[in-house]
Amino acid sequence: MSNFKYVLKNENLQKTVIKVGETKIGEDFLLIAGPCSVEDINQVEEIAQSVKKSGANVLRGGAYKPRTSPYSFRGLGLQGLEYLRYAGQKVGLPIITEVCDTRDVETVAYYSDILQIGTRNMQNFSLLVEVGKTNRPVLLKRGIYSTIDEFLNSAEYIMNEGNQNVILCERGIRTVETEYTRNTLDLSTVALLKQITHLPVIVDPSHATGRADLIEPMCLSSVMAGCDGLEIEVHNSPDKALSDSEQQITPEEFSKMSTKIFKTVEFKKNL
């Protein structure tokens, strides 16, 4: 194990609680929902309204999209940030969006309540340093090939700059399986991180599986593994989504699923 200064539980700190809007992350269950990408104002408003009704407490949506191919939809940029913030304010939800470039940190921090660092940037150390200098909570996603030690060291980079509000997110890692599922959800890491770190730990079942039909079982299993929250991609018309069409669920599916998620959270508490 590396020589960590900040991430591990210690006598003085067993649990970090991060207040965002009305939610005390780490104490209240965090349910982040919204589209993979912000596509237009009506899309994000419609989704925001329905996920809020279903109990989501943070709205997500990508404006700067890291894509494998440069020819795929790469997001609306600043316009996307404006749409997301407008929709969030309209329904009364704080927002989260990804920042990919050190040059955009100030702007994204101005618009967004939480900064997301994506899997591809988990070891972009200059980006980690920049978000570590802001006063916004940071959701750090595990790198697609990263060990637990590397993941925790990335959190250390952010915390070492003074920002202690880091949320860890397991979003699947690349294993032997590439055909049936997009990635492999590593739930043992969730349980382990809950043992050793005081930071909130959440799961993104959407990118972990790449399949809409696997989101529900992975959500419920993640809750049982001890996660503090979930980040789920929801789209009003998944077939027509400009990114990650296969893994997004409809607002109706999300509504049914969130009832089961909250029931499971209660069940787990009473075990």
Which parts of this chain interact with ligand PEP (CB under 6 A)? 36, 62, 66, 98, 118-119, 141, 171, 204, 207
Helices (H), 124-168: 125-132, 148-159
In angstroms, what is the minimal distance from the CB of 171 to ligand PEP? 4
User: Distance between CA atoms of 84 and 71, rounded to whole angstroms?
Assistant: 23
Residue type, 249: I
Binding-site partner at residue 98 among Mn ion, ligand PEP, none, CB < 5 to 8 Å by type: ligand PEP
Taking each continuous run of H as one helix and of E as one strand, the counts in the chain are 9, 10
Instruction: Quickly count: other Cβ atoms within 10 Å of residue 69's Cβ.
Output: 7
Q: Does 244 bind Mn ion (CB under 5 A)?
A: yes
What are the structure tokens assigned to 245, written together? 């069409």
Q: Does 36 bind Mn ion (CB under 5 A)?
A: yes
Binding-site partner at residue 198 among Mn ion, ligand PEP, none, CB < 5 to 8 Å by type: none
* Cα–Cα–Cα angle for 94, 99, 103, rounded to 5 degrees: 125
For CA atoms 98, 99, 104, 106, give the dihedral sign.
Answer: positive
Give how far Cα 203 sits from Cα of 11, 123, 221, Å: 27, 19, 10
Closest to ligand PEP by CB, 94 vs 118, is 118
What are the structure tokens assigned to 122, written together? 């988990």
What are the structure tokens assigned to 261, written together? 């998620």
For CA atoms 162, 97, 45, 253, give the dihedral sign.
Answer: negative
Closest to ligand PEP by CB, 118 vs 200, is 118
For every residue of 84-125, DSSP letters joined together read: HHHHHHHHT--EEEE---GGGHHHHHHH-SEEEE-GGGTT-H
In angstroms, what is the minimal distance from the CB of 12 to ligand PEP? 32
Binding-site partner at residue 118 among ligand PEP, Mn ion, none, CB < 5 to 8 Å by type: ligand PEP
In angstroms, what is the minimal distance from the CB of 138 to ligand PEP? 13
Residue nearest to Mn ion (CB): 36
In angstroms, what is the minimal distance from the CB of 26 to ligand PEP? 20
Closest to ligand PEP by CB, 209 vs 258, is 209
Total residues in contact with Mn ion, by rule CB under 5 A: 2
Binding segment for Mn ion among 16-24, 34-42, 99-107, 191-199 (CB under 5 A)?
34-42
In angstroms, what is the minimal distance from the CB of 268 to Mn ion? 27
User: Which residues does 229 contact at the CB level (< 8 Å), separation at least 6?
Assistant: 25, 29, 30, 31, 32, 167, 200, 202, 203
Binding-site partner at residue 140 among ligand PEP, Mn ion, none, CB < 5 to 8 Å by type: none
The rounded Cα 201 to chain-centroid distance in angstroms is 10
Closest to Mn ion by CB, 249 vs 265, is 249
Binding-site partner at residue 55 among Mn ion, ligand PEP, none, CB < 5 to 8 Å by type: none
Closest to ligand PEP by CB, 97 vs 165, is 97
In angstroms, what is the minimal distance from the CB of 270 to ligand PEP? 31
Binding-site partner at residue 171 among Mn ion, ligand PEP, none, CB < 5 to 8 Å by type: ligand PEP
* DSSP code, position 37: B
